[in-house]
Structure 1
Amino acid sequence: MERFKEVVNIIGEFGLYQKRIYLLICLPSIFSAFIMLNTVFLLGIPQHRCAIPGYPNDTFAVQSPSHKALINRLIPPSTDETLDYAKCELYDRTLDGDDNSTDLKECSDWVYDKTVFINTFTSEQNIVCKDKLGTANSQMIFFFGVLTGAFVLGTISDVIGRKKTLCLSFLLLFGTTLAVSWAPDFITFCILRFLVGASCAGMFMTAFVIGMELVGPSKRVFAGIIVDFFFAIGTVLLGAIGYAFKEWKYIEITCSAPIAMFLLYWWLVPESPRWLISQGRIEEANKIIQKAAKVNKITIPEKILTADSIEEPETGRLWHLFASRVLLVRTLIIFFNWLVVVMGYYGLSLNTGNLGGDFYVNFMVSGLVEFPAYTLCLILLDRVGRRLLHATCMISGGIACIITIFPMLYADESLEPITITLAMLGKVGISAAFAIIYVWSAELFPTVVRNSGMGASSSCARIGGMIAPYIADLSKVVEGNLGRALPLVIFGGASVVAGVMSLWLPETKSRALPETIEDGKRFGKKNPSEKYESKLGVDNKGYDSNSTAPNGTDSVYTVTKM
């Protein structure tokens, strides 16, 4: 839509009108963080052991010497060096002490430590021991909902419009998140969480599309990274909410009830002019453009767009990215980096409870460290370049995670701050890489398949999100400090591999971006032909004067944290 790009340049690429809309679409990102990460509190598993049969006043904390003696008599010691008592078995003995059998039996009731959580859905439903992987299954179902929602609601937004899909997503999200608070059983909980994930994807991505379709090309990288700061704000606020309540129902209600205010977006947020133009609704698009120009204090003709001025862009197909060896290898590396960076990001967030130290402080710090990560991207992305910065962040973050195995296995609790610091350094690297791969991959895909390529990358990212809970929950399968260390080692190792592989991708900083599939095949070669350079319309600064500014592309791509 070359004519629309010209209009955006005239009214201002990021004027006061766009800034207002952009702020509105950033606010849902705070709640996206609530929804994407609150399983840490909803499905957290407190320390627990078997309840003493026939002893109604049993608690996890020792009440008296006689209580301690009874626990020692009926509960066997744990094989996990980090615990005093077994979690899932007790001696088959009588309460009065006449029986000294050493036979073990599975328990059917538990007592939980209330130091970190007063209660969670997991402790209420006793999803522990033989059902311990239920929490990972539930989180996988949630991320599958995110994948489904992105596909279904993304398709719907192309049919009925961005604005209607956005408000529909808000309505679904509000209803399903509140309903989760009263889920009576595990199956109902999983079904509702699937719907929450689907509607959350629709909310975030559709809102983001509306904002980005109003912003000029040279501002899209800036806008695409700034929205991540709001997600980080949501992470920190979620930690504070969790600390304030420590009860999963109150946390869920607090995170979901304010979503009702987003229903006002029906009157506050406009339809995307790009979508209106694609549907032939030129007059409606003109009205929105006129309003934007008025707020930006720019005078434009009353009908700046006409049906004759709109040209359909050239299109390609996703399978074209696999039609040559060069594009195949490049695409697979991009997909793998998307999978690993999302797996690592959510995995490190979900793994907070295994680091030691104060759970809530760790969680809030994991959100705070994202601020310097994104600031680093804003400062260095156009100075250092995409390839070097992304690879450095992935490799250094991965190494930091791997090194945590040494203090976890060979040091005592006094060195827990070292473990936490290393894990947070890993989170900094992964968070920065998350923002970079979004920009970099969008620039690597040729224009004709950019949206398709980013959509496929988004799907790989969500597969990473579905894998992350199982890796984060390895401590439930492997006992002791090794079980606590394994998730970080796996996330770190995968990050290092992905970072090294990314060095095979070409740099895009200050380069004309590929338009066609043939351009994509030649892109990144050391001596591109003069024909290729002239075809892309490179100006004297090395940028593509036809369709992009230094960091921008005409196509709108939406992945970020979702």
Structure 2
Amino acid sequence: MFASLMASLVVGILTTWVPEFISFCFSRFLLGAFGSGVFLNAFTLGIELVGPSKRMWTGMFIEVFWAIGEAILVLLAYFIRNWQYLQLAISVPSVLYISYWWLIPESPRWLMSNGRTEEAEKIIRHAAKVNKVTLPDKIFESKIEDEKNVPQIKVYQLFTHRVLLARSLIIFFNWCVVSMVYYGLSLNSGYLYGGVHLNFFLSVVVEFIAYAMCFPLLDRIGRKALHSTCMIVGGVACCCTIFTVLYLSEEYQPVTTALSLIGKLGASAAFAIIYIFSSELFPTVVRNGGMGVSSMSARVGSMASPYIADLGQLAGGNFGVALPLIIFGGLSVLAGVASLWLPETLNRKLPETIQDAIDFKNQKPEGHADKQRMGKAKVVGISARKLDFDNPALEGDDVL
């Protein structure tokens, strides 16, 4: 992750002085690639560093800070109208990333899945000390004798079993659509009633509302139900703009903007949920790779979004205003329905191996009564190969 952080910082600053448009496009391409790597690595690391009781909070707070960044961006863009100064203003603060090398630990899950148990144990013991959790003298029943013989699992193994193949394709499709809708509605804000700065600011506000809505609901009704509902409701709202555009007069066009914002609310909530949802579905051995392919699928959607947003100019007239929203809405409803075939991950252990992921649908959620009974136990679940971060005994006092 540190390499992506540094590359993002350097390319972001150099973009300020590119001499012409082709170089600008290339530098923005690199910036987008490195920036996506930074966010995905940070998200995966955050999810893997905590126990099951904290996964929702960790994932959602990362998204909240994303929205804070957007709010800062629209504020800077309002006062800094020169794009070069604006690019410099949003790139220079990235120098703080350098501190991550000393502040952020490696994921113990990833270290253990790669046979580096001694390094993982050091991180776990440091976390336990900070959190005042007592660990046994020996937290692993057995060490891996030859760490070099640990099999290396590749991301393509997600496609070697029909269950994982179908699940992965649904996840990738949802990432593609939610990214397309999310960015498309942001780009389309300039074509709606009101100014581009105001509309973009309102879209940021609804993001905060979306995340605030997810906090109490995500651990109550589950990832699958909430994600599917957000996609479908947001999609239906976008599709309804055809009626407001064609049958309402100019003075009622703020209704179209309101429906678009409802669509953005649904897309924002779904985007936050799909990060948590998919990270809990991919097994640890290929979680980072699976999230990487998901992000690549999202980039396909985000690349298509400006062209869909510009379809309104080609169509012209009132129908042109609604056309992009109809496309975004229709695809959103389709992705939301498809996500119903995914297994629920609420209160379930993170799959560690490929076989765990295959059998994931048959895994029963941990009982709430058991969690309350065992919540205060300061012990660590132990297996032959790994520390069991998802043991319900850790719910009340997570080591990490």
Per the normalisation by structure 1, the TM-score is: 0.58
Q: Which runs of 5+ in 2 are unaligned?
A: 372-380, 393-400
* 3-state SS of paired residue (1:189): helix
2:87 aligned partner: 252
* 3-state SS of paired residue (1:498): helix
Contact 2:113 2:284 in 1 (8 A): no
**How far off is 1:491 after superposition?**
0.7
2:395 aligned partner: none
1:479 aligned partner: 316
- Kindly indicate whether residue 35 of structure 2 is the aligned counterpart of residue 207 of structure 1: no
Q: Distance in 2 between matches of 1:202 and 1:391?
A: 26
- Kindly indicate whether residue 57 of structure 2 is the aligned counterpart of residue 222 of structure 1: yes
**How far off is 1:399 after superposition?**
0.9
Report the residue type matching 1:432 in the other structure. Answer: A
Q: Distance in 2 between matches of 1:334 and 1:450?
A: 13
Contact 1:397 1:492 in 2 (8 A): yes
2:293 aligned partner: 456
Contact 2:115 2:150 in 1 (8 A): no
* 3-state SS of paired residue (1:357): coil
Report the residue type matching 2:175 in the other structure. Answer: W
Contact 2:231 2:270 in 1 (8 A): yes
Q: Which runs of 5+ in 1 are unaligned?
A: 1-164, 552-562
* 3-state SS of paired residue (2:346): coil
Contact 1:282 1:306 in 2 (8 A): no
- Kindly indicate whether residue 193 of structure 2 is the aligned counterpart of residue 392 of structure 1: no
**How far off is 1:464 after superposition?**
1.3
2:398 aligned partner: none
* 3-state SS of paired residue (1:171): helix
Contact 1:338 1:457 in 2 (8 A): yes
1:181 aligned partner: 16
1:439 aligned partner: 276
Q: Distance in 2 between matches of 1:291 and 1:522?
A: 33
1:341 aligned partner: 178
Report the residue type matching 2:16 in the other structure. Answer: S
1:402 aligned partner: 239
Contact 2:44 2:288 in 1 (8 A): no
Contact 1:236 1:363 in 2 (8 A): no
Report the residue type matching 1:459 in the other structure. Answer: M
Q: Distance in 1 between matches of 2:369 and 2:157?
A: 26
1:238 aligned partner: 73
Larger helix percent = 2
- Picking from 113, 118, 143, the partner of 1:308 is 143
Please list, as runs of the form range in 1=range in 2, the aligned pairs for 1:38-437 lying within 5 A after superposition. 165-166=1-2, 168-273=3-108, 288-298=123-133, 308=143, 318-323=155-160, 325-437=162-274
* 3-state SS of paired residue (1:181): helix
Q: Distance in 1 between matches of 2:50 and 2:345?
A: 21
Aligned Cα RMSD in Å? Answer: 3.6
Question: Do the aligned partners of residues 242 and 413 (structure 1) sit closer, same or farther apart at CA in structure 2, a change above 3 Å counting?
Answer: farther
Moved more, 365-374 or 325-334: 325-334
CA deviation vs aligned residue, 1:415-453 (integer Å, no higher than 9, x gap): 232111111100111111112223333444466655544
Q: Distance in 2 between matches of 1:196 and 1:330?
A: 30
* 3-state SS of paired residue (1:205): helix
Q: Could you say which structure has the greater relative contact order, defined with CA pairs below 8 angstroms and 6 or more residues apart?
A: 2
CA deviation vs aligned residue, 1:56-77 (integer Å, no higher than 9, x gap): xxxxxxxxxxxxxxxxxxxxxx
CA deviation vs aligned residue, 1:31-50 (integer Å, no higher than 9, x gap): xxxxxxxxxxxxxxxxxxxx
2:305 aligned partner: 468
Q: Distance in 2 between matches of 1:272 and 1:508?
A: 21
Report the residue type matching 1:362 in the other structure. Answer: N
Question: Do the aligned partners of residues 244 and 495 (structure 1) sit closer, same or farther apart at CA in structure 2, a change above 3 Å counting?
Answer: same
Contact 2:114 2:150 in 1 (8 A): no
Q: Distance in 1 between matches of 2:334 and 2:390?
A: 32
Contact 1:510 1:550 in 2 (8 A): no
* 3-state SS of paired residue (1:503): helix
Q: Aligned residue pairs: how many? A: 376
Q: Distance in 2 between matches of 1:450 and 1:284?
A: 20
* 3-state SS of paired residue (2:143): helix
**How far off is 1:295 after superposition?**
3.2
